[in-house]
Protein backbone atom coordinates (compact mmCIF):
# COMPACT_ATOMS: atom_id res chain seq x y z
CA UNK A 1 0.00 0.00 0.00
CA UNK A 2 0.93 3.68 -0.23
CA UNK A 3 -0.47 6.53 1.82
CA UNK A 4 -1.09 9.93 0.25
CA UNK A 5 -0.17 12.58 2.80
CA UNK A 6 -0.66 15.81 0.83
CA UNK A 7 -0.93 17.48 -2.55
CA UNK A 8 0.58 20.89 -3.26
CA UNK A 9 0.17 23.00 -6.36
CA UNK A 10 1.53 26.06 -8.12
CA UNK A 11 -0.68 28.49 -10.05
CA UNK A 12 0.93 30.26 -13.04
CA UNK A 13 0.67 34.03 -12.75
CA UNK A 14 -1.33 34.86 -15.89
CA UNK A 15 -5.07 34.17 -15.73
CA UNK A 16 -7.44 34.54 -18.66
CA UNK A 17 -11.22 34.40 -18.67
CA UNK A 18 -12.69 31.98 -21.17
CA UNK A 19 -14.46 34.75 -23.07
CA UNK A 20 -11.15 36.58 -23.45
CA UNK A 21 -9.51 33.49 -24.95
CA UNK A 22 -12.47 33.18 -27.31
CA UNK A 23 -12.03 36.79 -28.48
CA UNK A 24 -8.32 36.21 -29.02
CA UNK A 25 -9.03 33.17 -31.19
CA UNK A 26 -11.31 35.26 -33.39
CA UNK A 27 -8.39 37.61 -34.05
CA UNK A 28 -5.68 34.95 -34.39
CA UNK A 29 -7.46 32.55 -36.75
CA UNK A 30 -8.83 33.91 -40.01
CA UNK A 31 -12.17 32.17 -39.82
CA UNK A 32 -15.16 33.13 -41.94
CA UNK A 33 -18.38 34.18 -40.20
CA UNK A 34 -19.82 30.77 -40.99
CA UNK A 35 -16.83 29.00 -39.43
CA UNK A 36 -16.98 31.24 -36.34
CA UNK A 37 -20.63 30.37 -35.79
CA UNK A 38 -19.87 26.67 -36.24
CA UNK A 39 -16.63 26.35 -34.26
CA UNK A 40 -16.53 28.95 -31.48
CA UNK A 41 -19.44 27.57 -29.42
CA UNK A 42 -16.90 25.01 -28.16
CA UNK A 43 -15.63 27.78 -25.83
CA UNK A 44 -19.11 28.39 -24.41
CA UNK A 45 -19.88 24.69 -23.99
CA UNK A 46 -16.61 23.78 -22.25
CA UNK A 47 -17.85 24.76 -18.73
CA UNK A 48 -14.56 26.59 -18.14
CA UNK A 49 -14.58 30.05 -16.53
CA UNK A 50 -10.87 30.82 -16.46
CA UNK A 51 -7.43 29.24 -16.86
CA UNK A 52 -3.87 30.00 -15.81
CA UNK A 53 -0.84 30.30 -18.10
CA UNK A 54 2.90 30.90 -17.68
CA UNK A 55 2.84 33.47 -20.53
CA UNK A 56 0.69 36.55 -21.09
CA UNK A 57 -1.87 36.88 -23.85
CA UNK A 58 0.50 38.81 -26.13
CA UNK A 59 2.69 35.68 -26.39
CA UNK A 60 -0.06 33.82 -28.25
CA UNK A 61 -0.17 36.48 -30.97
CA UNK A 62 3.37 35.75 -32.20
CA UNK A 63 5.12 32.83 -33.90
CA UNK A 64 7.65 30.90 -31.83
CA UNK A 65 10.34 28.33 -32.57
CA UNK A 66 10.57 24.94 -30.88
CA UNK A 67 13.79 26.15 -29.25
CA UNK A 68 12.11 29.17 -27.69
CA UNK A 69 9.10 27.17 -26.52
CA UNK A 70 11.28 24.54 -24.87
CA UNK A 71 13.49 27.16 -23.22
CA UNK A 72 10.40 28.65 -21.61
CA UNK A 73 9.17 25.19 -20.66
CA UNK A 74 12.47 24.36 -18.96
CA UNK A 75 12.57 27.65 -17.06
CA UNK A 76 8.95 27.56 -15.90
CA UNK A 77 8.90 23.84 -15.15
CA UNK A 78 11.68 24.32 -12.61
CA UNK A 79 10.26 27.52 -11.13
CA UNK A 80 6.70 26.28 -10.60
CA UNK A 81 7.62 22.69 -9.64
CA UNK A 82 9.64 24.09 -6.74
CA UNK A 83 6.62 26.09 -5.58
CA UNK A 84 4.38 23.00 -5.79
CA UNK A 85 6.87 20.84 -3.89
CA UNK A 86 7.30 23.42 -1.12
CA UNK A 87 3.52 23.71 -0.84
CA UNK A 88 3.16 19.93 -0.71
CA UNK A 89 5.65 19.38 2.13
CA UNK A 90 4.24 22.33 4.09
CA UNK A 91 0.73 20.80 3.89
CA UNK A 92 1.77 17.26 4.82
CA UNK A 93 -0.84 15.57 7.01
CA UNK A 94 1.77 14.80 9.66
CA UNK A 95 2.46 15.86 13.25
CA UNK A 96 6.19 15.74 12.54
CA UNK A 97 7.58 17.98 9.81
CA UNK A 98 8.95 16.15 6.78
CA UNK A 99 11.89 17.61 4.87
CA UNK A 100 13.53 17.12 1.48
CA UNK A 101 16.24 15.05 3.18
CA UNK A 102 13.50 12.53 4.07
CA UNK A 103 12.47 11.94 0.45
CA UNK A 104 13.73 8.67 -1.07
CA UNK A 105 12.20 8.94 -4.55
CA UNK A 106 11.29 11.86 -6.80
CA UNK A 107 9.05 11.03 -9.75
CA UNK A 108 8.57 13.70 -12.42
CA UNK A 109 5.72 13.44 -14.93
CA UNK A 110 5.32 15.73 -17.94
CA UNK A 111 4.42 15.68 -21.65
CA UNK A 112 4.61 19.34 -22.68
CA UNK A 113 8.37 19.87 -22.99
CA UNK A 114 11.63 17.96 -23.10
CA UNK A 115 14.79 18.00 -21.01
CA UNK A 116 17.92 15.85 -20.72
CA UNK A 117 18.94 15.57 -17.96
CA UNK A 118 15.33 15.36 -16.81
CA UNK A 119 13.78 18.21 -14.82
CA UNK A 120 13.98 16.31 -11.53
CA UNK A 121 17.78 16.68 -11.55
CA UNK A 122 17.42 20.46 -11.69
CA UNK A 123 14.91 20.33 -8.82
CA UNK A 124 17.46 18.36 -6.78
CA UNK A 125 19.96 21.19 -7.24
CA UNK A 126 17.50 23.74 -5.83
CA UNK A 127 16.40 21.84 -2.73
CA UNK A 128 18.35 19.80 -0.14
CA UNK A 129 17.56 16.32 -1.50
CA UNK A 130 20.12 13.64 -0.65
CA UNK A 131 22.35 12.67 -3.57
CA UNK A 132 21.20 9.08 -3.03
CA UNK A 133 17.56 9.91 -3.85
CA UNK A 134 16.14 7.72 -6.61
CA UNK A 135 14.60 9.36 -9.69
CA UNK A 136 11.70 8.31 -11.90
CA UNK A 137 11.14 10.64 -14.88
CA UNK A 138 8.01 9.70 -16.86
CA UNK A 139 7.28 11.34 -20.22
CA UNK A 140 4.54 11.02 -22.84
CA UNK A 141 1.67 9.86 -20.61
CA UNK A 142 -0.44 12.95 -21.36
CA UNK A 143 -3.68 13.33 -19.41
CA UNK A 144 -3.29 9.85 -17.89
CA UNK A 145 0.02 10.80 -16.25
CA UNK A 146 -1.50 12.02 -12.99
CA UNK A 147 -3.00 8.59 -12.32
CA UNK A 148 -0.21 6.49 -13.87
CA UNK A 149 2.38 8.43 -11.85
CA UNK A 150 0.56 7.44 -8.65
CA UNK A 151 0.43 3.80 -9.76
CA UNK A 152 4.17 3.70 -10.46
CA UNK A 153 5.01 5.34 -7.13
CA UNK A 154 2.61 2.93 -5.40
CA UNK A 155 4.52 0.00 -6.89
CA UNK A 156 7.85 1.49 -5.79
CA UNK A 157 6.60 2.01 -2.23
CA UNK A 158 5.16 -1.48 -2.15
CA UNK A 159 8.69 -2.72 -2.84
CA UNK A 160 10.18 -0.15 -0.42
CA UNK A 161 7.55 0.10 2.36
CA UNK A 162 9.70 2.11 4.79
CA UNK A 163 10.37 4.92 2.34
CA UNK A 164 8.74 8.15 1.10
CA UNK A 165 8.24 9.61 -2.37
CA UNK A 166 7.44 12.90 -4.03
CA UNK A 167 5.44 12.83 -7.28
CA UNK A 168 5.56 16.00 -9.41
CA UNK A 169 3.19 16.58 -12.33
CA UNK A 170 4.15 19.55 -14.49
CA UNK A 171 2.22 20.47 -17.63
CA UNK A 172 2.70 23.76 -19.45
CA UNK A 173 0.20 23.31 -22.26
CA UNK A 174 0.17 26.97 -23.31
CA UNK A 175 3.65 26.70 -24.82
CA UNK A 176 2.40 24.11 -27.31
CA UNK A 177 -0.13 26.51 -28.92
CA UNK A 178 0.26 26.71 -32.70
CA UNK A 179 -1.27 29.88 -34.17
CA UNK A 180 -0.88 28.58 -37.73
CA UNK A 181 -2.80 25.35 -37.06
CA UNK A 182 -6.42 25.94 -38.06
CA UNK A 183 -7.59 22.37 -37.57
CA UNK A 184 -10.54 21.77 -35.27
CA UNK A 185 -8.42 19.67 -32.90
CA UNK A 186 -6.21 22.71 -32.22
CA UNK A 187 -9.27 24.87 -31.61
CA UNK A 188 -10.66 22.34 -29.12
CA UNK A 189 -7.28 22.18 -27.38
CA UNK A 190 -7.21 25.99 -27.23
CA UNK A 191 -10.66 25.96 -25.61
CA UNK A 192 -9.72 23.34 -23.00
CA UNK A 193 -6.07 23.34 -21.95
CA UNK A 194 -4.36 25.37 -19.25
CA UNK A 195 -1.09 25.19 -17.31
CA UNK A 196 -0.85 23.35 -14.01
CA UNK A 197 1.83 22.03 -11.67
CA UNK A 198 1.31 19.74 -8.68
CA UNK A 199 3.28 17.67 -6.18
CA UNK A 200 2.05 14.74 -4.07
CA UNK A 201 3.73 13.25 -1.01
CA UNK A 202 3.36 9.50 -0.48
CA UNK A 203 4.76 7.20 2.23
CA UNK A 204 5.00 3.42 2.46
CA UNK A 205 3.02 1.26 4.83
CA UNK A 206 6.00 0.80 7.21
CA UNK A 207 7.24 4.36 6.98
CA UNK A 208 8.31 5.90 10.31
CA UNK A 209 6.10 8.85 9.36
CA UNK A 210 2.96 6.69 9.40
CA UNK A 211 2.63 7.05 13.17
CA UNK A 212 2.72 10.82 12.67
CA UNK A 213 -0.45 10.97 10.51
CA UNK A 214 -2.73 13.63 11.97
CA UNK A 215 -5.98 12.37 10.41
CA UNK A 216 -7.39 9.71 8.11
CA UNK A 217 -5.64 9.78 4.75
CA UNK A 218 -6.31 8.06 1.43
CA UNK A 219 -4.40 4.80 1.08
CA UNK A 220 -3.83 3.40 -2.41
CA UNK A 221 -5.09 -0.18 -2.13
CA UNK A 222 -4.78 -1.34 -5.73
CA UNK A 223 -4.74 -0.16 -9.33
CA UNK A 224 -5.43 -1.32 -12.88
CA UNK A 225 -3.92 -0.25 -16.22
CA UNK A 226 -5.44 -0.72 -19.67
CA UNK A 227 -4.14 0.27 -23.09
CA UNK A 228 -6.23 -0.29 -26.21
CA UNK A 229 -4.17 -1.63 -29.10
CA UNK A 230 -4.21 0.20 -32.44
CA UNK A 231 -5.54 3.41 -30.87
CA UNK A 232 -2.43 5.60 -30.97
CA UNK A 233 -4.15 8.16 -33.19
CA UNK A 234 -6.77 9.14 -30.57
CA UNK A 235 -4.69 11.77 -28.76
CA UNK A 236 -1.11 12.91 -28.43
CA UNK A 237 1.44 15.16 -30.13
CA UNK A 238 2.62 15.43 -33.71
CA UNK A 239 6.14 16.88 -33.60
CA UNK A 240 6.62 19.65 -36.18
CA UNK A 241 9.32 22.27 -36.77
CA UNK A 242 7.69 24.77 -34.42
CA UNK A 243 6.96 22.33 -31.60
CA UNK A 244 4.06 20.07 -30.65
CA UNK A 245 0.86 19.97 -32.70
CA UNK A 246 -2.10 18.53 -30.81
CA UNK A 247 -3.81 15.30 -31.89
CA UNK A 248 -7.27 15.23 -30.36
CA UNK A 249 -9.96 12.89 -31.70
CA UNK A 250 -13.67 13.69 -31.52
CA UNK A 251 -14.24 10.03 -30.55
CA UNK A 252 -12.91 10.50 -26.98
CA UNK A 253 -16.32 10.92 -25.23
CA UNK A 254 -17.57 7.80 -27.05
CA UNK A 255 -14.52 5.86 -25.86
CA UNK A 256 -15.55 6.67 -22.28
CA UNK A 257 -18.73 4.67 -22.86
CA UNK A 258 -16.78 1.73 -24.25
CA UNK A 259 -13.18 1.45 -23.04
CA UNK A 260 -13.46 3.32 -19.72
CA UNK A 261 -16.84 1.84 -18.77
CA UNK A 262 -15.67 -1.72 -19.43
CA UNK A 263 -12.39 -1.13 -17.58
CA UNK A 264 -14.22 0.34 -14.58
CA UNK A 265 -16.81 -2.43 -14.45
CA UNK A 266 -14.13 -5.14 -14.58
CA UNK A 267 -12.06 -3.43 -11.86
CA UNK A 268 -15.02 -2.85 -9.53
CA UNK A 269 -16.13 -6.46 -9.96
CA UNK A 270 -12.59 -7.69 -9.26
CA UNK A 271 -12.51 -5.63 -6.03
CA UNK A 272 -16.02 -6.74 -5.03
CA UNK A 273 -17.49 -3.23 -4.86
CA UNK A 274 -20.05 -1.18 -6.78
CA UNK A 275 -20.34 2.46 -7.81
CA UNK A 276 -22.62 3.01 -4.81
CA UNK A 277 -19.73 2.04 -2.50
CA UNK A 278 -17.63 4.90 -3.87
CA UNK A 279 -17.78 8.15 -1.90
CA UNK A 280 -15.85 10.08 -4.53
CA UNK A 281 -14.85 9.64 -8.15
CA UNK A 282 -11.51 11.46 -8.35
CA UNK A 283 -11.66 11.73 -12.11
CA UNK A 284 -9.44 13.62 -14.52
CA UNK A 285 -11.83 16.14 -16.11
CA UNK A 286 -10.75 15.92 -19.75
CA UNK A 287 -13.65 18.19 -20.65
CA UNK A 288 -17.35 18.63 -19.92
CA UNK A 289 -18.29 15.98 -22.49
CA UNK A 290 -15.92 13.52 -20.84
CA UNK A 291 -17.39 14.19 -17.37
CA UNK A 292 -20.94 13.84 -18.71
CA UNK A 293 -20.00 10.60 -20.48
CA UNK A 294 -18.54 9.20 -17.23
CA UNK A 295 -21.71 10.07 -15.30
CA UNK A 296 -23.93 8.49 -17.94
CA UNK A 297 -21.77 5.36 -18.36
CA UNK A 298 -22.02 4.24 -14.73
CA UNK A 299 -24.89 6.37 -13.33
CA UNK A 300 -22.49 8.45 -11.26
CA UNK A 301 -24.08 11.23 -9.21
CA UNK A 302 -23.06 14.89 -9.38
CA UNK A 303 -22.01 14.66 -5.73
CA UNK A 304 -19.56 11.85 -6.43
CA UNK A 305 -17.76 13.79 -9.19
CA UNK A 306 -18.39 17.45 -8.35
CA UNK A 307 -14.75 18.32 -7.56
CA UNK A 308 -13.74 17.30 -11.09
CA UNK A 309 -16.25 19.79 -12.48
CA UNK A 310 -14.98 22.51 -10.12
CA UNK A 311 -11.35 22.03 -11.17
CA UNK A 312 -12.30 22.09 -14.86
CA UNK A 313 -14.23 25.33 -14.30
CA UNK A 314 -11.38 27.07 -12.44
CA UNK A 315 -8.33 25.75 -14.30
CA UNK A 316 -9.32 23.96 -17.49
CA UNK A 317 -7.67 20.71 -18.52
CA UNK A 318 -4.04 20.80 -17.30
CA UNK A 319 -3.18 17.37 -18.67
CA UNK A 320 -1.55 15.11 -16.04
CA UNK A 321 -1.68 17.67 -13.20
CA UNK A 322 -5.47 18.03 -13.35
CA UNK A 323 -6.42 14.89 -11.43
CA UNK A 324 -3.93 15.90 -8.71
CA UNK A 325 -5.80 19.21 -8.30
CA UNK A 326 -9.01 17.15 -7.94
CA UNK A 327 -7.30 14.85 -5.43
CA UNK A 328 -6.26 17.87 -3.36
CA UNK A 329 -9.90 18.88 -3.01
CA UNK A 330 -10.84 15.40 -1.81
CA UNK A 331 -7.96 15.54 0.70
CA UNK A 332 -9.44 18.74 2.08
CA UNK A 333 -12.97 17.28 2.27
CA UNK A 334 -14.49 15.87 5.45
CA UNK A 335 -13.97 12.18 4.70
CA UNK A 336 -14.77 9.34 7.12
CA UNK A 337 -12.66 6.33 8.01
CA UNK A 338 -13.37 3.60 5.48
CA UNK A 339 -14.62 5.91 2.74
CA UNK A 340 -13.57 4.67 -0.69
CA UNK A 341 -12.56 6.66 -3.74
CA UNK A 342 -11.74 5.79 -7.33
CA UNK A 343 -9.04 7.91 -8.99
CA UNK A 344 -9.02 7.61 -12.77
CA UNK A 345 -7.74 9.22 -15.94
CA UNK A 346 -7.66 8.59 -19.69
CA UNK A 347 -4.71 9.39 -21.93
CA UNK A 348 -2.73 8.70 -25.09
CA UNK A 349 -2.32 5.12 -26.04
CA UNK A 350 -5.42 5.05 -25.81
CA UNK A 351 -5.04 4.25 -22.12
CA UNK A 352 -7.10 4.10 -18.94
CA UNK A 353 -5.73 4.09 -15.39
CA UNK A 354 -7.78 3.35 -12.27
CA UNK A 355 -6.74 3.39 -8.61
CA UNK A 356 -8.74 2.33 -5.55
CA UNK A 357 -8.27 4.58 -2.50
CA UNK A 358 -9.55 4.09 1.03
CA UNK A 359 -9.40 6.64 3.86
CA UNK A 360 -7.71 5.17 6.93
CA UNK A 361 -4.79 5.65 9.34
Q: How confident is the model at residue 248 (pLDDT cuts 50, 70, 90)?
A: confident
Q: How confident is the model at residue 280 (pLDDT cuts 50, 70, 90)?
A: very high
Q: Is 14 exposed, middle or buried (0-12, 13-18, 19+ CB in 10 A)?
A: middle
Would you state the pLDDT for residue 16? 96
Would you state the pLDDT for residue 187? 83
Q: Residues 139-164: what's their mean pLDDT?
A: 97
Our answer to whether residue 143 is catalytic in this structure is yes
Task: Provide the 8-state DSSP code for 112.
Answer: S
Judged against a pLDDT cut of 80, whether residue 141 lies above it is answered with yes
pLDDT digits (tens, 9 = 90+) for 55-92: 999 999 999 999 999 999 999 999 999 999 999 999 99
Judged against a pLDDT cut of 80, whether residue 106 lies above it is answered with yes
pLDDT digits (tens, 9 = 90+) for 290-304: 999 999 999 999 999
Catalytic, out of 143, 170, 173, 344: 143
Distance CA 312, CA 143 (A): 13
Judged against a pLDDT cut of 90, whether residue 235 lies above it is answered with no
| pTM, rounded to two decimals | 0.95
CA distances (Å), origin 99, targets 85, 88, 151, 201:
11, 11, 23, 11
Judged against a pLDDT cut of 90, whether residue 197 lies above it is answered with yes
Residue 206 CB coordination number (10 Å): 12
Average pLDDT, the chain: 93
Distance CA 283, CA 256 (A): 12
Judged against a pLDDT cut of 90, whether residue 315 lies above it is answered with yes
Q: Where are the alpha helices (H) located in 127-258, listed in sequence order?
A: 145-159, 184-192, 252-255
Would you state the pLDDT for residue 30? 73
Please state the φ and ψ torsions of residue 68, each to the nearest 5 degrees. -65, -45
Hey, what domains does the chain have and what are their CATH numbers? 2-212 (3.40.47.10), 217-360 (3.40.47.10)
Q: Residues 219-223: what's their mean pLDDT?
A: 97
pLDDT-wise least confident of 173-182, 195-204, 351-360:
173-182
pLDDT digits (tens, 9 = 90+) for 322-344: 999 999 999 999 899 999 999 99
Q: Which residues pair with residue 167 across a beta bridge?
A: 107, 200
Judged against a pLDDT cut of 80, whether residue 345 lies above it is answered with yes
Amino acid sequence: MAIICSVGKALPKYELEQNRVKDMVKNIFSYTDREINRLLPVFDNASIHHRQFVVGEEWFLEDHSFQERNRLYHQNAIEYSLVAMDDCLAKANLHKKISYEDIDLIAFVSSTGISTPSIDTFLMNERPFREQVERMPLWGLGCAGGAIGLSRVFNWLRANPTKSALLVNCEICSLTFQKSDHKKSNLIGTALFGDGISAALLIGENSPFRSQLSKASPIIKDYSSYTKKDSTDVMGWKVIDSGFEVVFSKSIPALVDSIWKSHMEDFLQYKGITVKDIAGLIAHPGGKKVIDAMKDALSISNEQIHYSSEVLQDHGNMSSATVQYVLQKWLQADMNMGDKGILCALGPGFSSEILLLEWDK
